[in-house]
Structures are given as structure tokens and as C-alpha cells.
Amino acid sequence: MRAAASFRDPIHGFIYADPLERALIDSRPVQRLRSIRQLGFTSLVFPGAEHTRFSHVLGAMELAGRVYDALATRNPDLLENNSSSHGRRLVRVAALLHDIGHAPFSHSAEGLFEEGLDHEGMTLRLLRSSELESVFQHWGKGVESHQVARLLENPETTQERLLAQIVSSELDVDKMDYLLRDSLFCGVSYGSFDLARLLDTMLPLEDPETGAWGLGVDEGGVHALEALVMARYYMFTQVYFNRVGKALELHFNEWLTEVDQHWPADPEAFLELDDISTLTAMRSSESEHALAVVERRYFPMVFETREHLSSEEKSRFEALVPRLRAEFGAAHILVSHAAKDPHRLGESRVLVQRFDGQLEPMEEASHFVRHLGRIDRVRIYTPPLLVAEVTASLQELEGVGA
């Protein structure tokens, strides 16, 4: 009989796994995540950022249980308030497995899957693999792989839709964990927020406009939720969209294109690839783009827009790029477009329950969230020998940088 297990985590303390969770953790798809860095090439900028998707999914699993408990305590008629309930076990497993489809270096080359897949699609294929099917058959005790897949892809019942939001929504455990974890390992404080207060004020709320149940907070949790949004905003501007990190991603994608590398759509072939195998291949390459990553010989940045672009500014910039590429060659003009709505975290809205019981969207309850703008920044990189020429051309074309 497989025993339960415990893991010591720097964010959440001890994380306990039941026999099913332990068997899944021991499987190849989850163990592979030990060799997939959570933040791609960010460790080449923030040396401490060596943490992996493996520790993140354990943290997400732990938080899924905590969020479930918070919601079930506030509405036991909607969710069974029991530590061994089917819903609680299901949502923890879904959180554990939600990232198993990530390609090498995580989001750095998300668009290079065969058959138009993304990491969510690969996750679903891995869930149908014989190895994971066998784990669920032996240890599931009512929790089945197709239930996890449905929760991640297309939840059907009211309870499933609510559980799905715990894993992926505006208030999901994925964001809660990665903000705290990434902030710690990058050595910055931008990602900090009051997790305990947020959990204490979360509750399931029925949207009066749609009739759908979703995750919300009572009025006392507005500032805790604001802190999470602010943490996300600063982590994107200061860490995830770091100019050197984005340059390394560009070089990585250029190298993958040169060698015609795509992430396999076949799950067995996919499991053979990770950061280590990919970096080994880059080290044996003579491509300037491989060397840019391996030896940090990345192109310098010659221009960047402001953090918040107007539509006019964006159109003006987009008109410059073809002219630069025509003058200097497409291979010598690399463009990064970093965009995110940090305050719009998902498709559905977060509701706030006021002290009098009335519901209002978070954008109305929070002046801060209501006025936070979209991050939209574009950068241009070019080889060192062309920096002066490209800069001069930019100034001549549109007065950029003048």
C-alpha cells in the first residue's frame, strides 16, 4: 500500500499528499517538471530564480485545498465541508496536474507546439496517457482522470465550474502561488500580498447577471485583492517583462526556428524534452542565437516604448519595424511585444459582497483597480555592431530617441 507523503515548502510550510497525490507526484509527467524552470531564462537575470514547475504545482495543490476549505466553510450547501470530500480531492489533483504540459523553459516558446497545441492541450493529452490512467485506476478511489480533464477543459456542473475557477480564474491558486514563489526566488518583494487575509475573506458568490457561481471576496478583502493585483502588475513590469529576459526569449525562439524544432504533439516524445536536453542542444550549436543564450551574448536593446502605449503610439511604432527590417535585414531587428492586463485576470468578473449584502464588481469596489491600465511595451534589439546605425535610423525616421 502506498503511504501518504509530506514535502517541506519554503512558501507554504509542510505540504501533505495523500496516496493518489503521491502516486501522481511520482509519475513521469510530474517528475519531469523538476527539469522545467518556472521562469524560463529569468535565472540568467535574477540568479536565484532556479525554481521549477515542480515546486509550483505542489504549492498550487496545497492552495487549492485551502481555497476549497475557505469556500466550503462559507457555503457548506454548495461544497461539502469535509477534508476527504470528492470535490476537494478533485480540485487538489487538478491543481497538481495543471502544468504538466509545459514545454522546455515554460512560456518562452509556447507557440511552437505541433498541431497547434499549447501547454493546456498537451496537459490533456498527458492526462489520457496509460501511465496516468493506471495511477487513477489504482489510487483514485472515485477521482478519475476524465473528471480532472473535464475540470480543466470544460466543466459542466455548477460545482465543477466553481472548482475550475480555483485552478484557473481571476482568483486562482496558480497566480497566488507563482507570485509569492517567484518573488521569493527572484529576491524581490514585488510579488508579496496578504495571502492569509485573502483566504479568510474569499467566498462563493452567485453573479446576479449570469446566475453563475464564482469566486469573490467580502468587503473586508478588497485591499487584500488589490494587493494581489498590484503584486501581479509589478512582477510583470519588473521581472516577467525584464528587457534582458525578453531578449533571451527572442534569441531562443530564433534558434528554435533555425533548427526547425517544434514541441512534439505525441506525449511520449514530449516527455523526453526538458530544459536540460534543450540547453545541451544549444550548447553544441554555433548559431549566434544559441550563443546569445548560452554565453549571454544577447543583442542590446536600442529602443523601447513607454510602459502604457496608446493606440496611436502603437500604430506609429508598428510602421517603423518594416522599414528598419528592410534597411538592416529581418535577422538583425528583433522585436519584443510585452502586453498584459494585470487587473483583468480572467474571463469572468470578481464580485465583492458589501457589508449590507449587496454585490458589486471589483472594478467598482476598488478605485485602484478601476484606474489601472494595460501594460503594453515594445522593444527593439539589434547586434552590437549595428547599435549606432539603428539608433541613428530611428532618429531619422521618426525622431525616436532624439
User: Region 26-49: what's the mean pLDDT?
Assistant: 97
DSSP 112: G
Q: Is the pTM of this model over 0.85?
A: yes
Contact of 393 with 302, CB cutoff 8 Å: no
Give residue 151's pLDDT. 97
Q: CA 42 to CA 242: how far, in whole Å?
A: 8
Under DSSP, is residue 293 helix (H, G, I), strand (E, B) or coil? helix
Cell digits of residue 395: 532618429
Q: Is the pLDDT of residue 364 over 50?
A: yes
Q: Which three cell numbers stand for residue 360?
A: 458589486
Catalytic residue annotation: 119
Cβ(95)–Cβ(152) below 8 Å: no
List the beta bridge partners of residue 9: 13
What strand order describes the sheet that includes 351-353?
A: 202-206, 213-218, 351-353, 359-361
| 401 band by pLDDT with thresholds 50, 70 and 90 | very low
Chain-wide mean pLDDT for the chain? 93
Query: Cα dihedral angle (96, 101, 107, 111), rounded to 10 degrees?
Result: -150
Q: Over the stretch 211-244, which tens digit does the pLDDT of each residue have?
A: 899 999 999 999 999 999 999 999 999 999 999 9
What gap in Å lies between CA 349 and CA 370, rounded to an integer? 13
State the first-to-last Cα distance of the chain, in angstroms, to the nearest integer.
71
Taking only the tens place, the pLDDT of each residue in 171-220 is: 899 999 999 999 999 999 999 999 999 999 999 999 998 889 999 999 99
Domains of the chain and CATH, by start: 5-249 (1.10.3210.10)
What region does 329 belong to: left with phi over 0, alpha with psi -120 to 50, or beta? left
* Distance of alpha carbon 373 from alpha carbon 339, whole angstroms: 11
Look at residue 347 and tell me whether its pLDDT is greater than 60. Answer: no
